[in-house]
A = this chain, B = another copy of it.
Amino acid sequence: MASYDVFKDLAIIIVFAKAFGILARKLKAPQVVGEIIAGLIIGPSLLHLVEPTDFLVQMAEIGVILLMFSAGLETNLRDLLKTGPLAFLIACAGVLIPLLGGTALYACYYGFDGIGTDSFYRAVFIGTIMTATSVSITVQTLRELGRLKGKVGTTILSAAIIDDVIGIIVLTFVIGFKNPESRPATVIINTLLFFAGSIVLGFIVFKLFKRVDGMFPHTRRIPILGLALCLILSYCAEHFFGIADITGAYVAGIILCSCKDSDYIAEKMDINSYMLFGPIFFASIGLKTSLANVNGDILLFSVFFVIVALAAKIVGCGLISRLCRFSWPDSLKIGIGMMTRGEVALIVSQKGLSVGLLTPEYFTCVILLIITSSVVTPIVLKVLYSKYPGETAVR
């Protein structure tokens, strides 16, 4: 392969990804679905235009890191603390019920070999994929309905962020425990050490950034240092603590999210993401998804997977909301609002693939879940709001 062949690969990926992304948006589906399908079409499954080379795999890895860093950066810690306890409870239920549901589904479908076996971890991993909410579709819908700032809206937003954090912690544990060399105690200690270290380091780095930010606001060095922090934490998480690199990138984002220039950093990261690394990541999911191994069995499992994933969020988040004195209709709105999945589910799946907890054909389930939830949520939310326009009072 000549060195310039990589230009061809990249050109094909970004053109197809963008075209199918726009097409998907026109069809009211999320853009990432279009990008994944672009990858499927140009990849070994169909047209054979692009093969998943080492270079593309590493570019995709950087893409994931940048996406998780951005997700962390966009967190609003202050809002989070305000809606705190209530959202925290809902988020916990929104993680726990899907985690149990997904595990149970896999165990029922493929049989249960006992705790600690390989198939047990695979089952738990299926549950883990179901945990992370991606509320961008919900936010879009609520904004259109003029309900984003209401109590239901803010609760959903906060709960979704907290549930990402909890989801990442669950992922960290699952991957840690799966490693045959690791002992449970070591995993727990490592994880605690990493988060404790992150808090200390985060505090120092935050102070430092605040100073640099004050001295040189809106200069190039701010996003560059941010990117460096993201890369360093990603590396350290994996290398020293055996924790997923995406956890490190996410933590780096959270550390910087309260900086004055966090929007500035996020903006620059976003450009890097959408121009090159993002499309490469999502298309690479398509490239790796082998349609050859998709059979009736997997398809049937996918259908159950989607049903359980959606139902678990509605039941988990909805019931807890009702217990927290939301009205029945509002509880249902929260449950529905929390059921959308997106990028993070893909990122988690990708991580599972790289540590051997998932095989490529299961991407089908995740893609189906993203499509279904993104199509169903807006429709149901609109119906609910037009039928029950009243909302539980704020406070």
Q: How large is the interface on A (under 10, 10 to 19, 20 to 34, 35 or more residues)?
A: 35 or more
Bits for A219-245, please: 1 = Cβ < 8 Å to B, else 0. 011011101100110110011000001
A271: contacting residue among B11, B55, B272, CB under 8 A: B272
Residues of B within 8 A of A10 (CB): 62, 231
Q: How far is the CB of A54 from chain B (nearest CB, A)?
A: 8
How many angstroms between the C-alpha atoms of A8 and B61 in the bound complex? 13
Q: Say yes or no: is A110 at the interface (Cβ < 8 Å to chain B).
A: no
Q: Copies per complex?
A: 2
Q: List 30 A-B contacts (CB under 8 A).
A: A2-B238, A2-B239, A3-B57, A3-B58, A4-B234, A4-B235, A4-B238, A4-B239, A6-B58, A6-B61, A6-B62, A7-B62, A7-B232, A7-B245, A8-B235, A10-B62, A11-B231, A11-B232, A11-B235, A14-B224, A14-B231, A18-B224, A18-B225, A54-B54, A54-B55, A220-B274, A224-B275, A268-B271, A272-B275, A272-B276
Q: Say yes or no: is A46 at the interface (Cβ < 8 Å to chain B).
A: no
Q: Say yes or no: is A15 at the interface (Cβ < 8 Å to chain B).
A: yes
Q: Say yes or no: is A354 at the interface (Cβ < 8 Å to chain B).
A: yes
A residues near B (Cβ < 8 Å) are: 2-8, 10-11, 14-15, 18, 22, 54-55, 57-58, 61-62, 65, 220-221, 223-225, 227-228, 231-232, 234-235, 238-239, 245, 268, 271-272, 274-276, 354
How many angstroms between the C-alpha atoms of A239 and B58 in the bound complex? 24
How many angstroms between the C-alpha atoms of A231 and B11 in the bound complex? 6
| A272 lies within 8 A of B272 (CB) | yes
A231: contacting residue among B8, B54, B55, CB under 8 A: B8
How many angstroms between the C-alpha atoms of A227 and B268 in the bound complex? 17
Residues of B within 8 A of A6 (CB): 58, 61-62
